[in-house]
Amino acid sequence: MVNKGIKIDVLINNAGIGLYESWEEMDMADLRRLFEVNFFSVVLLTKLFLPHLKEKKGSVINVSSVAGKLYVPFMGGYCASKYALNAFSDSLRAELLNDGVHVLNLIVGRINTGFSSRAMGSKKPPDTPFGDSPEGFADAVYSAYLKRKREITYPRWYRYFIWISRLFAPVYDRIVLKKWTHSSSSSR
């Protein structure tokens, strides 16, 4: 239980793990662990701190992923956990509308943090030469927090990638599968 004397203005839910594996070969224990960290821990902490956030008319900031807006082969479990997180953020925001609690959902692309090197699963993601700095991301989040935005996509260009992947889904499927299968065969 949270101490009643604590004053909380902002809750940042930033824990997360990756899982790079096909649905066919995915270990169910890994999938459960992924959802425990990426989704259920966020729900639990938010529920725990919500009375304090309501009192202060504070903010909940959930760190999601571009993978929660589009699907990626061999990242299906991770994508599903982040889709769930996005739905949680959106429905929570609506529920708290009359309480003055701000909910900011972060749709995050590649940031140079070494995230992929610590992911579970047997697949290796394709090399991506681009990734933004953690400092640039922190600046964007702080600005969005101050403006009480609902959601940001960072880096911003990922918004176009999400849109294109939906508009040209069959082409997206072929291209991204080729990148992943080429990456997996070259890493052996």
Check residue 124 and give its pLDDT: 81
**Could you tell me the two tokens for 86?**
């996005």
Q: Shortest CA distance to 18 belongs to which of 106, 80, 89, 105?
A: 80
Which residues are part of the catalytic machinery? 78
pLDDT digits (tens, 9 = 90+) for 114-162: 777 778 887 887 776 667 888 999 999 999 999 999 999 999 999 998 9
Quote the pTM value.
Answer: 0.89
Residue extents of the structural domains in the chain: 10-186
Check residue 128 and give its pLDDT: 67
Check residue 188 and give its pLDDT: 39
In angstroms, the CA 86 to CA 183 distance is 28
Segments in the chain below pLDDT 50? 186-188
Q: What CATH architecture applies to the domain 10-186?
A: 3-Layer(aba) Sandwich (3.40)
Check residue 146 and give its pLDDT: 97
- Alpha-carbon separation of residue 55 from 84, 99, 107, 125, 146 (angstroms): 27, 9, 27, 43, 19
